[in-house]
Amino acid sequence: MSGFGLVELLLAMALGLMVCGGMIQALVGEGQNAQRFSWMVRERAHQRRAMTLIRDDLERARAVVGAADAPDAVSCGLAGRTPVLQLRVPVSTGEATITYSVGAAPSGIWRGRVLMRCGPAYRLDGSVNPASTFQSLVVLDGLAGDPTPWSGCGQLSGGQVLNSSAALPFSACLDPVSGLVAMRLEQSSAAANGPVRRVRSEAVAGAG
Protein backbone atom coordinates (compact mmCIF):
# COMPACT_ATOMS: atom_id res chain seq x y z
CA MET A 1 0.00 0.00 0.00
CA SER A 2 1.55 3.28 -1.16
CA GLY A 3 1.58 6.37 1.10
CA PHE A 4 1.10 9.99 0.28
CA GLY A 5 3.48 11.57 -2.15
CA LEU A 6 5.34 14.83 -1.60
CA VAL A 7 2.91 16.78 -3.80
CA GLU A 8 -0.11 15.50 -1.89
CA LEU A 9 1.51 16.38 1.45
CA LEU A 10 2.35 19.89 0.27
CA LEU A 11 -1.20 20.40 -1.00
CA ALA A 12 -2.63 19.17 2.32
CA MET A 13 -0.34 21.52 4.25
CA ALA A 14 -1.32 24.46 2.03
CA LEU A 15 -5.02 23.73 2.49
CA GLY A 16 -4.53 23.41 6.23
CA LEU A 17 -2.74 26.77 6.37
CA MET A 18 -5.53 28.40 4.35
CA VAL A 19 -8.17 27.02 6.73
CA CYS A 20 -6.18 28.15 9.78
CA GLY A 21 -5.67 31.59 8.25
CA GLY A 22 -9.39 31.94 7.60
CA MET A 23 -10.23 30.89 11.15
CA ILE A 24 -7.71 33.38 12.59
CA GLN A 25 -9.17 36.21 10.47
CA ALA A 26 -12.66 35.29 11.63
CA LEU A 27 -11.56 35.28 15.28
CA VAL A 28 -9.79 38.63 14.89
CA GLY A 29 -12.86 40.14 13.24
CA GLU A 30 -15.09 38.76 15.98
CA GLY A 31 -12.78 40.21 18.61
CA GLN A 32 -12.85 43.63 16.93
CA ASN A 33 -16.65 43.56 16.75
CA ALA A 34 -16.87 42.61 20.42
CA GLN A 35 -14.44 45.41 21.33
CA ARG A 36 -16.45 47.94 19.32
CA PHE A 37 -19.72 46.80 20.91
CA SER A 38 -18.18 46.96 24.39
CA TRP A 39 -16.89 50.49 23.69
CA MET A 40 -20.29 51.67 22.48
CA VAL A 41 -22.11 50.19 25.49
CA ARG A 42 -19.62 51.77 27.91
CA GLU A 43 -19.69 55.22 26.28
CA ARG A 44 -23.49 55.24 25.99
CA ALA A 45 -23.66 54.58 29.74
CA HIS A 46 -21.25 57.46 30.34
CA GLN A 47 -23.33 59.74 28.13
CA ARG A 48 -26.53 58.80 29.97
CA ARG A 49 -24.91 59.72 33.28
CA ALA A 50 -23.67 63.02 31.84
CA MET A 51 -27.12 63.87 30.48
CA THR A 52 -28.71 63.01 33.83
CA LEU A 53 -26.28 65.36 35.60
CA ILE A 54 -27.06 68.20 33.18
CA ARG A 55 -30.80 67.53 33.42
CA ASP A 56 -30.63 67.74 37.21
CA ASP A 57 -28.87 71.11 36.98
CA LEU A 58 -31.48 72.29 34.48
CA GLU A 59 -34.30 71.38 36.83
CA ARG A 60 -32.70 73.53 39.56
CA ALA A 61 -31.99 76.43 37.23
CA ARG A 62 -34.01 79.63 37.27
CA ALA A 63 -32.91 80.65 33.80
CA VAL A 64 -30.63 79.74 30.90
CA VAL A 65 -27.96 82.37 30.26
CA GLY A 66 -27.82 83.05 26.55
CA ALA A 67 -24.80 85.35 26.28
CA ALA A 68 -21.43 83.67 26.80
CA ASP A 69 -19.68 87.01 27.31
CA ALA A 70 -21.94 88.30 30.09
CA PRO A 71 -19.71 89.80 32.79
CA ASP A 72 -20.80 87.36 35.51
CA ALA A 73 -21.65 84.39 33.30
CA VAL A 74 -18.62 82.22 34.13
CA SER A 75 -17.76 81.51 37.75
CA CYS A 76 -14.62 79.44 37.00
CA GLY A 77 -11.69 79.94 34.68
CA LEU A 78 -12.36 78.35 31.28
CA ALA A 79 -8.70 77.81 30.30
CA GLY A 80 -9.55 78.31 26.63
CA ARG A 81 -12.63 76.08 26.62
CA THR A 82 -15.84 77.19 24.91
CA PRO A 83 -18.90 77.74 27.14
CA VAL A 84 -21.98 76.00 25.74
CA LEU A 85 -24.70 75.81 28.38
CA GLN A 86 -24.96 78.28 31.26
CA LEU A 87 -27.58 78.05 33.98
CA ARG A 88 -28.53 80.56 36.66
CA VAL A 89 -29.05 78.61 39.86
CA PRO A 90 -29.82 79.56 43.46
CA VAL A 91 -26.91 79.45 45.92
CA SER A 92 -26.50 80.46 49.54
CA THR A 93 -25.46 83.99 48.55
CA GLY A 94 -28.20 84.50 45.96
CA GLU A 95 -27.58 83.32 42.39
CA ALA A 96 -24.63 82.02 40.40
CA THR A 97 -24.04 80.44 37.00
CA ILE A 98 -23.25 76.80 36.29
CA THR A 99 -21.26 76.58 33.08
CA TYR A 100 -20.80 73.53 30.84
CA SER A 101 -17.88 74.04 28.47
CA VAL A 102 -16.01 72.07 25.81
CA GLY A 103 -12.29 72.09 25.16
CA ALA A 104 -8.90 70.63 25.92
CA ALA A 105 -8.51 68.29 28.87
CA PRO A 106 -7.02 69.76 32.04
CA SER A 107 -4.50 66.90 32.29
CA GLY A 108 -3.17 63.92 30.39
CA ILE A 109 -5.30 61.37 32.24
CA TRP A 110 -8.29 62.33 30.09
CA ARG A 111 -8.94 61.29 26.50
CA GLY A 112 -9.12 64.04 23.89
CA ARG A 113 -11.57 66.89 24.31
CA VAL A 114 -13.72 67.05 27.43
CA LEU A 115 -17.02 68.38 28.70
CA MET A 116 -16.45 70.28 31.93
CA ARG A 117 -18.86 71.58 34.56
CA CYS A 118 -18.13 74.69 36.57
CA GLY A 119 -20.56 74.59 39.47
CA PRO A 120 -21.14 73.88 43.15
CA ALA A 121 -19.72 70.70 44.62
CA TYR A 122 -21.73 67.62 45.56
CA ARG A 123 -22.24 66.18 49.02
CA LEU A 124 -21.48 62.54 49.79
CA ASP A 125 -25.15 61.65 49.28
CA GLY A 126 -25.05 63.04 45.74
CA SER A 127 -27.00 66.23 46.44
CA VAL A 128 -25.65 69.64 45.45
CA ASN A 129 -24.13 71.77 48.18
CA PRO A 130 -25.23 75.34 47.30
CA ALA A 131 -22.87 76.82 49.90
CA SER A 132 -19.75 75.25 48.37
CA THR A 133 -17.16 77.04 46.26
CA PHE A 134 -17.62 76.56 42.52
CA GLN A 135 -15.14 74.17 40.95
CA SER A 136 -14.39 72.81 37.47
CA LEU A 137 -14.76 69.06 37.03
CA VAL A 138 -14.62 66.81 33.97
CA VAL A 139 -18.06 65.38 33.19
CA LEU A 140 -17.14 63.38 30.07
CA ASP A 141 -13.98 62.84 28.04
CA GLY A 142 -13.31 61.36 24.62
CA LEU A 143 -15.49 63.95 22.87
CA ALA A 144 -15.34 63.91 19.08
CA GLY A 145 -12.51 65.98 17.62
CA ASP A 146 -14.42 66.40 14.34
CA PRO A 147 -18.08 66.21 15.43
CA THR A 148 -20.95 65.94 13.00
CA PRO A 149 -22.55 69.40 12.70
CA TRP A 150 -25.88 69.46 14.56
CA SER A 151 -28.71 70.95 12.54
CA GLY A 152 -32.30 71.60 13.53
CA CYS A 153 -31.74 71.29 17.29
CA GLY A 154 -32.74 67.64 17.23
CA GLN A 155 -36.29 67.12 18.51
CA LEU A 156 -36.72 70.76 19.57
CA SER A 157 -38.50 72.68 16.84
CA GLY A 158 -38.03 76.42 17.04
CA GLY A 159 -34.93 76.13 19.21
CA GLN A 160 -32.06 78.58 19.06
CA VAL A 161 -28.49 77.26 19.17
CA LEU A 162 -26.72 78.44 22.30
CA ASN A 163 -23.28 80.02 22.06
CA SER A 164 -22.64 78.83 18.47
CA SER A 165 -22.32 75.25 19.71
CA ALA A 166 -23.81 73.41 16.70
CA ALA A 167 -20.34 72.42 15.49
CA LEU A 168 -19.12 71.30 18.93
CA PRO A 169 -19.29 67.74 20.33
CA PHE A 170 -21.59 69.08 23.06
CA SER A 171 -24.34 71.24 21.59
CA ALA A 172 -27.33 72.95 23.19
CA CYS A 173 -30.44 74.71 21.90
CA LEU A 174 -33.00 76.79 23.80
CA ASP A 175 -36.67 77.28 22.98
CA PRO A 176 -37.30 80.76 24.43
CA VAL A 177 -41.06 80.17 24.53
CA SER A 178 -41.23 76.86 26.39
CA GLY A 179 -37.87 77.11 28.17
CA LEU A 180 -36.92 73.64 26.93
CA VAL A 181 -33.28 72.87 26.18
CA ALA A 182 -32.18 70.27 23.63
CA MET A 183 -28.70 68.78 24.01
CA ARG A 184 -26.44 66.61 21.88
CA LEU A 185 -23.29 64.72 22.90
CA GLU A 186 -20.91 63.00 20.47
CA GLN A 187 -17.84 60.93 21.28
CA SER A 188 -15.42 59.26 18.89
CA SER A 189 -12.55 56.81 19.01
CA ALA A 190 -10.15 55.77 16.25
CA ALA A 191 -9.66 52.01 16.21
CA ALA A 192 -6.30 50.63 15.10
CA ASN A 193 -6.32 50.26 11.30
CA GLY A 194 -10.08 50.77 11.31
CA PRO A 195 -12.78 53.40 10.87
CA VAL A 196 -13.54 56.07 13.45
CA ARG A 197 -16.18 54.85 15.91
CA ARG A 198 -18.84 57.35 17.00
CA VAL A 199 -21.59 57.34 19.58
CA ARG A 200 -24.17 60.11 20.05
CA SER A 201 -26.91 60.93 22.53
CA GLU A 202 -29.66 63.55 22.50
CA ALA A 203 -32.00 64.74 25.24
CA VAL A 204 -34.53 67.48 25.95
CA ALA A 205 -35.11 68.97 29.38
CA GLY A 206 -36.72 72.04 30.88
CA ALA A 207 -35.23 74.69 33.12
CA GLY A 208 -36.88 75.37 36.47
Give the C-alpha separation, 151 to 149, whole Å.
Answer: 6
Mean pLDDT of the 89-95 span: 76
- On whether the CB atoms of residues 67 and 92 are closer than 8 A, the answer is no
- Residue 32's Cβ-count burial label (10 Å; 0-12, 13-18, 19+) is middle
H or E element that contains 166: none
Helix locations, the chain, DSSP H: 6-60
Partnered with residue 160 across adjacent β-strands are: 174
The pLDDT tens digits for 164-175 are 999 999 999 999
pLDDT surpassing 60 at residue 71: no
4 or 95: whose pLDDT is higher? 95
Q: Read off the pLDDT of residues 7-61 as tens digits, 9 standing for 90 and up.
A: 666 777 777 777 777 777 766 655 556 667 676 788 889 999 999 999 999 988 8
Q: pTM value?
A: 0.78
Q: What residues contact 24, with CB distance under 8 A and at least 6 apart?
A: none
